[in-house]
Structure 1
Amino acid sequence: MQRAVKMAKVAFLGLGVMGGPMARHLASKGHQVTVYNRTPAKAAAWVAAHGGSQAATPAAAAAGADVVLACVGNDDDLRQVCIGESGAFAAMAPGTLFIDHTTVSAQVTRELAAQAAARGIGFVDAPVSGGQAGAENGVLSIMCGGAEADYARAEPVMAAYARICRRLGDSGAGQLAKMMNQICIAGLMQGLSEALAFGQKAGLDGEAVVEVISQGAAGSWQMVNRHKTMLADSFDFGFAVDWMRKDLGICLKTADEIGASLPVTALVDQFYKDVQLMGGGRNDTSSLIRRLR
């Protein structure tokens, strides 16, 4: 049963291709939104388009907020907006809530959750899946970790842009689930790349083949949403290879720590390195096919 949504005073830290649309959905649902972005012009443009207000620092954005949300780049970025100079935690009152949508290590999540708890602040790690389109359309899958009471407060806020949202365990569980998500995507994208490249070399009509096989056991989100641009050699959009390598690095490091084996993930990570060396670091992850052509 979906919990009732109480309008809240919220701060959103980070207005990239994911954070900007997520903050927009919060504003459209009636929440009072203050935004912060490392590039102030981006925050100013967001406010001009969607209302709310802009703050010069994470602390200024968080001051007086009931809920602070973040979607930044990596572990260091998250530490900076939480506990760095003018970080949000110093301005948050006991009883408030921090929701982190960044894909980071479970280690930094647990570290920051402990620091939040020491200040009386709730903390939910809530990485997302669904890409830029999922954020734009408000249909993200959200994997969460944290105390049950904190999640219960976070869920109705995240409902503004979620297709599905679940608590999967204590602090760090959301990040571990996101690692599973990225491990799946890496293998699927390599398989799709090999299949489409194979079909092109065999002289088949890739779109016609995908129309058939996408309805069977080979079907996937990647096949449905990326095959056309892959066949057209168009990759100037989407989730960047650089960010995927960051995520896979977290997966591989964590696998070493827990004794898990990720041979395919390690291999595909090196294939993405090839794409970076080809100058495709900012291309969508589907550009993996480029190294097969």
Structure 2
Amino acid sequence: MARIHWLGAGLSTVPGIRRLIERGHSVTVWNRTLEKAEAATAGLSGDFDLMAFTPDAFADELKEGDLAVSMLPGDFHVAIAELCLEVGANFVSSSYISPEMRALNTVARQRGLALVNEVGLDPGIDHLMAHVLMDDYRNSPVFSKGNVHSFRSYCGGLSEEPNDFCYKFSWAPLGVLKALRSPSKSLRDGKVYDVSRPWDAVESYDVTLEKGTETFEVYPNRDSYPFMKQYGFGDDWNMELFVRGTLRLGGWSKAWSEIFTEIETLEGEAGDKRLAEISAELWNKYSLKEGEHDRVVLSVDLWAERDGKRVYDKSYVMDAYGDDNHTAMARLVSITVSYGVEAVLNGEIAPGVSAAPRDIDVAGKWLEDLQASGEKMAIVDHLKH
């Protein structure tokens, strides 16, 4: 039996670790300190062990046929994947595919090894929803590349109970703050839409959820363009809008305005130091406290128009809440990673560097399994409402 080496046992990883062990897999949980690994596996029985992570110790233990799950900081992913290629092991991560990871594709294919990335929440579940919607549209009677197409995908980690800051942190705020300093590129009105400061592109966004329609704030992030091809939008399609972005509670941009103003002035080493200070301040003031729960909202929209009339208009939406055991973010990220692990072990993902599976049967099953586990999600047909 292949051994799964799960690297990193922070809070966001616990549900996935436990699911794999409970399903009878052989798992080694690695963490820099063993206390977190012990907490992650408390009360479980099965074929698992715990080890203190160092690159050298892990390299000594990884064997041909094994699988490594990297939930470590992003700087580790490529080195772990390269070690997997050297040893003859497979690799899974929830992170975006970096250029350096992409460069390993040819060797991975030659060696018959899968280096699977983007199988968390965002990226991950959003990809699955996009593939399912695209398959539905392609198989509909109104499908035509000549239709005017629009696509939006927004995801956000929120607080269950609104507060004056319109946000609560379930882990260190530094990642959120760094993302605010990153430019984005998307397609709007059929043209390139470059945004250097996310807060300049915030707009209202209505989502139809189980409890009714709710208004959020959204803004584009990263470079959306590569995902057009990944989702199956060809160069010969008539595209009006394509954006992947971040979702926040209504009022967020006003509540964060002072932070935006300061972030804009930060530069160099001193700026990075100040960003870390802001992160610590926000964590002390706005972290989830005991008894408080997080919330995740994900909405993927696809619509098509012909002669000025919408002929297709559907959304795949999810509204998830944390509980006393795990945050919604931890469940959605790590459980989906565990699906990726099992898909690799079952031979359902081809060798090479890849993101969340495009195969509609696999993508559909993952979403069905998430729904069966209790996650609330549904496809909304707006033309029938």
TM-score, length of structure 2 as denominator length? 0.39
Which has more helix, going by share of residues? 1
Higher relative contact order (CA 8 A, sep 6+): 2
Q: Which has the larger radius of gyration?
A: 2
Which has more strand, going by share of residues? 2
